[in-house]
Structure 1
Amino acid sequence: MSKGKLALIFSAVVLAVLLALLPKVVINKDKKADLASNGAAAESSHDPNHEGHEDHAAEAAAPADAANAHMTATPAQLKEIADLRAKFNRASSPQDKGKVADELAQKYAAIAKHDSAGYFYEQVAAVRPGEKSFQKAADQYFEAFTFAATQERSQQLGQKAQGLYAQVLKNNPANLDAKTNLAMTYIASETPMQGITLLREVISADPKNEKALFNLGVLSMQSNQYDKAVTRFQELLAVNPKHVDATFYLGVSLAETKQKQEAQKAFMRVKELSKEPEVLASVDSYLQKLNSAQ
């Protein structure tokens, strides 16, 4: 289970307490996600209110400034980025800028600065538009979206991801991965039914789609429809029996539907599948509650 992003979508208090103990997760890359965001069409230019980073169109920052913005990066990584940004600013042709932008995007992604990576992949897409280039940018903005610490920032990043995923689907309407991520940006917006509709379209096209099944299960939990959540997670586990997150949330859903013994089995299965301390602590906490229940 990834430690990348925390599910923020649940409203039930019992889940909120439990999920606080869990590592964060993401729904792309065959893991999962619950998101907090808003949605609309993305702009093609970089967000001028970009938090935590310098304006990417400006000259490369001095190492000290870059260090403040990228605390997780090594000095060598910061220097590479500063040098590439200077090279990007000096590039005279769109093709040259696109080539350097691709390098910059990779460097930013390597230090988990996904919004910055998204911006530079967006510059690549402007030079070489197409399904794959748009999706690279969209996926990075989506990653940043799942990390967003505030509703305002989440909304900004969600908008960027939505606009770019729209371009992906314009090039290839059958891209289910893009459609699933797009759906999740709408789920947490003021138009959640738009996201639900997209997820149902994915399931209709691919009944065994793991990401869509997982997200529909999560959404059922959010609306306290735990019986439906049980069904979705069971469908997912029939496809992928080793899906740790689905197994865990199946246990939660079974417990909420008073199926104590089945819930215990699910949690014990999680302990077989994962050795991460945060996960095991959460499972033990839930098992303790189940064992102490009358």
Structure 2
Amino acid sequence: MKRPFIILIVVAVALTGFLYSRPKVVVKDEAKANRDKVAENKPASKPEDDGHGHEEEASQAPKLSAEQQKQLTALQQKLSSASDKNAIYEQIAELYVNANRFDSAAVYAEKIALANPTTENWMRAGDTYYQAFTLALRQENVQSFTEKTRACYQKVLEKNPRQLQAKTNLAMTYVQSDSPMQAIMMLREVITEEPNFEPAIMNLGVLSMQSGQYAKAADRFKQAIRINPNNLNALLGLGYSLIELGEKAQARTIFEDLKKKVKEPTLVEEVNKALESIK
């Protein structure tokens, strides 16, 4: 499958777990590429070091607005005299998340977890690094965020081996590794433990789609829809799988239904393209 929609599905589905507790973020291919552009100018302010050698990683896109940059500068100035740095880290992390700068947000989420190593804090750090990992294109960034993501989720699983979202996301970091089958095995372990765990089912659907096993992908997406009829990503994946299986009439029905439900411009555009392709 070479159509651009595979990127859209991979991004949307890979972030399913994080999106349970965050606003939905759909990213165009061009926007993904921008995240990995090399900075042409030095940062306006020196990133705060947490004492462990972890400094904020530079990112040029999307850029902070003037108001966000002003807020960031003020928060960084407070850090030097703050008795409770975690409270400031929390605000900085949230600012970066709101700006879709997950690479930078993850640095501060990790600082919070290092200072207060609860399962919840490590989970948040892992989720945010996972966002950065999913959106990265340059191999050095993928490798860096992969290692960070795994380290955070391992901390979670040490404390709570039944944290299935952590295990699901951890599995997906192995998809492009030297051990891709490890991803499949871990996801299967998750659904063995919890057969209706939607994120793991969705990710298995995506992996089947990427490997050209569209019948298996369709079955996974149908399963996800039975669990959650409002899962638009599952409907999208099912529609594309049916196209590849030659079931164009069924696919058309799905995309016509999706057209009534989706509001995000990128998804609307993709649904329209799909309908045009099966006329």
Aligned-partner Cα distance in 1 for 2:7–2:167: 28
Unaligned runs of 5+ in 1: 1-11, 35-49, 60-67
Q: 2:79 aligns with which of 80, 88, 110?
A: 88
Give 1:289's aligned residue. Answer: 277
Amino acid paired to 1:79:
K
Q: 2:47 aligns with which of 36, 45, 56?
A: 56
Q: Deviations over 1:14-36 (max 9, x none)?
A: xx3444688952333147999xx
Bigger relative CO (Cα 8 Å, ≥ 6 apart): 1
Q: 1:102: how far off?
A: 2.4
1:123–1:24 distance in 2 versus 1, CA, 3 Å: closer
Within a 5 Å distance, the mapping from 1:35-114 to structure 2 comes to: 56-57=47-48, 72-91=63-82, 96-114=84-102
Instruction: Give 3-state SS (helix, strand or coil) of 2:178's partner.
Output: coil
Name which of structure 1's ranges 22-31 and 132-141 shifts more when overlaid on structure 2. 22-31
Q: 2:185 aligns with which of 197, 200, 213?
A: 197
Indicate whether 1:166 and 2:154 are aligned.
yes
Q: 1:99: how far off?
A: 3.2
Give 1:27's aligned residue. Answer: 16
Q: 2:120 aligns with which of 117, 123, 132?
A: 132
Amino acid paired to 2:16:
I
Give 1:244's aligned residue. Answer: 232
Unaligned runs of 5+ in 2: 28-36, 51-58
Indicate whether 1:228 and 2:216 are aligned.
yes
Q: 1:134: how far off?
A: 0.6
1:150–1:57 distance in 2 versus 1, CA, 3 Å: same
CA contact (8 A) 1:23 1:279 kept: no
Give 1:153's aligned residue. Answer: 141
Q: Deviations over 1:35-64 (max 9, x none)?
A: xxxxxxxxxxxxxxx9656652359xxxxx
CA contact (8 A) 2:8 2:26 kept: no
Within a 5 Å distance, the mapping from 1:271-290 to structure 2 comes to: 271-290=259-278
1:173–1:32 distance in 2 versus 1, CA, 3 Å: farther
Aligned-partner Cα distance in 2 for 1:166–1:84: 30
- Kindly tell me the number of residue pairs found equivalent between the two proteins: 252
Aligned-partner Cα distance in 1 for 2:85–2:25: 34
Q: What is the TM-score normalised by the length of structure 1?
A: 0.76
Q: 1:224: how far off?
A: 0.8
Q: 1:215 aligns with which of 194, 203, 207?
A: 203
Q: 1:112: how far off?
A: 2.1
Aligned-partner Cα distance in 1 for 2:193–2:250: 31
Q: Deviations over 1:59-117 (max 9, x none)?
A: 9xxxxxxxx957632333222222222332445xxx63333322322222222222222
Aligned-partner Cα distance in 1 for 2:145–2:238: 30
1:69–1:85 distance in 2 versus 1, CA, 3 Å: farther
Q: What is the TM-score normalised by the length of structure 2?
A: 0.79
Instruction: Give 3-state SS (helix, strand or coil) of 1:174's partner.
Output: coil
| Structure 1 residue ranges, 4+ long, deviating more than 6 angstroms after superposition | 20-23, 31-34
CA contact (8 A) 1:32 1:214 kept: no
